Amino acid sequence: MPANPPGDDDVGPASTRPYVVTRGRTQAKHMLDLLACVRATKQAADVPGLTHEHLKVLAACSAGGDTESVTVGDVVTAVPYSLLAARILLSDLIEWGAVVHRLTVVTGEPPSPDIMQRFHRALINWNVSDPASGTPGRAG
């Protein structure tokens, strides 16, 4: 047996239920679809009382660098939380000014190749269960 089994010292998906991560909340204050863009702000470092879960989501929002935005889908694939929990944590960060977001605007034109590539990467990285093989995955 390993000296430090997973889940003993840190809070992770195996030991924490989504309602614990979100403190019992089931709805985000902001409507965030998977293609909405988010970015950490310079004020993020000044927000007091960020939880470990909020810090993981904030780090995922900074994955594109200081000036680049990432999609909500990118954030969800980078953190060990369900889609609902990640949206609630993102919503908190938006409320506190640690993250800014842009809503997705449907223009009737086809999406850019960059958006399609990012969406494709997110789908590949997202560990979804395969009903045919019975392999477990993340619940949304």
pLDDT tens for 20-67 read 677 667 677 778 888 888 999 888 878 888 888 889 999 998 866 666
Rounded to two decimals, the pTM is 0.61
Q: Work out the pLDDT band at 82, boundaries 50, 70, 90.
A: confident
13: tokens are: 């998906």
Q: What is the mean pLDDT of residues 8-30?
A: 61
Per-residue pLDDT at 77 exceeds 80: yes
Per-residue pLDDT at 87 exceeds 70: yes
How would DSSP label each residue in 53-105? HHHHHHHHHTTT-SS--EEHHHHHHHSSS-HHHHHHHHHHHHHTTSEEEE---
Q: What is the mean pLDDT of residues 15-19?
A: 61
Q: Buried (b) or exposed (e) across 91-110, using 16+ Cβ within 10 A?
A: bbbbebebbebeebeeeeee
